[in-house]
Structure 1
Amino acid sequence: MKLRMVSAAAAAALALSLTATACGSGDGDKSSAGSGDKKITVGIKFDQPGIGLKTPDGKYTGLDVDVAAYVAKQLGYKPSDIEWKEAKSADRETLLQRGDVDYIVASYSITPERQKKVDFAGPYLLAHQDVLIRADDNSIKKPEDLNNKKLCSVTGSTSAQNVKTKIAPKAQLQEYGGYSECLTGLENKVIDALTTDDAILAGYAAQPEFKGKFKLGGFKLSNENYGIGVQKGSELKAKINTALEKMVSDGSWQAYVNKNLGPAGYKNEPAPKIGVIVS
């Protein structure tokens, strides 16, 4: 496990750069958040239970929703001031670059490639690629046990390919259109395991209809540093980092994790330190 951190000198240089360019920020960068703007637009997932979900009655639930709302409050906004916008994985950088959202909290892993296009506050969660299996299945105790098993992930995902190429070359890949389809297949014993980030898996497994049916493998196949995306050069990054630090120190962070992911037996890593990326 490797840690990488922005140096103090680099951080100081960035701060000077932001100060010099603040007046020229684009329209999409509400760097004065909380100082008079009536609304703030936040991107979240709409289809990930436990992480970011829009319910049939129009409400929003999940860890990312709680984190995003906490940050908005620290920026000076009331819950009614938040405009939630769906941020699908493929659209996140575009939404930020166009100024369609002020920030994005959507199981958004910090990667070098993405950092070329947008900035990240955080991270606020260290997740890992893992597998979800049936609670009564004792045949998968280590990653190599996935050989000759039917392994499901969504079409286009790199998670299952990662397992097949690096860990269990004899795994039988099954690609479905969505995670709910994989879960149905897992429940009906059509497939043996579902793979993606453990936080996402825990969110699904924590839903009332799946209580006690599934368990996480706990394999930690990769490190996924979830951050809050903002426009490149936005002053919101520093303000959000301050909010995240307070969220951890006052106990809210752990409460949100327990509420949204705890029912699935999710064993979270300690809250990450701001600016430290685990690779």
Structure 2
Amino acid sequence: MMNRFANGARRARFAGWLVFGVLAGTTAQAHASDLLASAKSAGVLRVANTQSSPPWSLLDNSNQPAGYDVEMAREVAKRIGVAEVVFVADSFKNFVEGLKSGKYDLVMNDLTPTPERGKQVDFGVPYGVEDFRIFVRADNANIKGQPDLKGKRVGVTTGSSNESWARAHLKDSDIRTYDNGGLVFSDLGTGRIDAVIISHFGGMKYANVNHLPVKEVGDPLIYQLSAPALAKNQPALLAAVNKAIDEMMADGTIDRLAKKWVGPNYDMVGTIAKAKEQKE
């Protein structure tokens, strides 16, 4: 009798655990699919950027977020039905974990889709593209291209695709990481490092704004697309963001914002198309 009672109790507990597990899984799935609905309900879309990677994201003279990615994020929010964007300052190395932990809804900051990142987060359609170059001090006559980086101290931004590329292709260089692009250029200017690998646009912006004695050398090292990143299992948010970017690509918004922030002669839409063709 006691055994039958004990067995019945165990079966009841197991059934309870099973129901609880199903409900918990259902709740988790519902929660996972709620980011777009939550953003619309709250009227706020949380978007991460570094605020220190011009021309993509920076702080303007009023200490407010500005740049190509910033304006793109605001336009995306408007088109998906969210009134306000709250920008969360973070570094490249934290973006993936920040999305996974729910710290923000999107990352829009010149973030390149890579197979490694794609295992942990999802990417929308590309809305930006750039080439990465070598920057050295203006008085450096020894480094003229990639082969000359052997044995040299090379600065990169922590967690960025230029760090990944440098570690994969510059095995004989001393790779040094920085959380802030401004700091890496400061060290280049003072001679603490020999070279920096960064995008053409970002490098020229730092050089011009900070009046640093640096120059760009060699051919482009790598050609990279950028796209919005978001947590896995967010089909509604992903679809809405992709639709907004496709519309902006077609109606001239991307072209207008690129000319404003990247350069008046820069063909962002055409260059994205060429980069996608090359990758394929």
Q: What is the TM-score when the length of structure 2 is the normalising length? A: 0.70
Structure 1 residue 239 displacement after superposition: 1.2
Matching of residues 101-250 of structure 1 within 5 Å: 101-134=104-137, 140-147=143-150, 151-154=154-157, 159=162, 162-163=165-166, 166=169, 169=172, 178-188=180-190, 191-205=193-207, 207-210=208-211, 214-217=214-217, 219-234=219-234, 235-250=236-251
Q: Distance in 2 between matches of 1:243 and 1:159?
A: 28
Q: Distance in 2 between matches of 1:73 and 1:129?
A: 31
| 1:33-92 Cα deviation digits (max 9, x unpaired) | 7755422211222322322224574310122112111111211233xx211112322322
Residue 50 of structure 2 corresponds to residue 45 of structure 1 = yes
Matching residue's letter, 1:257: A
Verify the 8 A CA contact 2:188 2:194 in the aligned structure 1: yes
Structure 1 residue 190 displacement after superposition: 5.6
Q: Distance in 1 between matches of 2:252 and 2:215?
A: 26
Greater relative contact order (Cα 8 A, min sep 6): structure 1 or 2?
Answer: 1
Structure 1 residue 259 displacement after superposition: 2.9
**1:4 corresponds to which residue?**
none
Against the structure 1 CA distance between its residues 272 and 67, is the aligned structure 2 distance closer, same or farther, given a 3 Å change threshold? Answer: farther
Equivalent pairs: percent with the same residue?
Answer: 24
**2:262 corresponds to which residue?**
261
Verify the 8 A CA contact 1:225 1:277 in the aligned structure 2: no
**2:86 corresponds to which residue?**
83
Q: Distance in 1 between matches of 2:160 and 2:146?
A: 18
Verify the 8 A CA contact 2:223 2:275 in the aligned structure 1: no
**Structure with larger Rg:** 2
Q: What is the TM-score when the length of structure 1 is the normalising length? A: 0.70
| 1:173-226 Cα deviation digits (max 9, x unpaired) | 566664323323433556543113444334434x53338x54444633234331
| 1:130-184 Cα deviation digits (max 9, x unpaired) | 2124567666543224446553335687846855873584x56566664323323
Residue 35 of structure 2 corresponds to residue 30 of structure 1 = yes
Q: Which runs of 5+ in 2 are unaligned?
A: 1-25
**2:11 corresponds to which residue?**
none
Structure 1 residue 232 displacement after superposition: 1.3
Q: Distance in 1 between matches of 2:93 and 2:155?
A: 21
| 3-state DSSP of counterpart to 2:99 | helix
Q: Distance in 2 between matches of 1:208 and 1:260?
A: 14
**2:13 corresponds to which residue?**
none
Q: Distance in 2 between matches of 1:76 and 1:155?
A: 34
**2:96 corresponds to which residue?**
93
| 3-state DSSP of counterpart to 1:42 | strand
Verify the 8 A CA contact 2:224 2:275 in the aligned structure 1: no
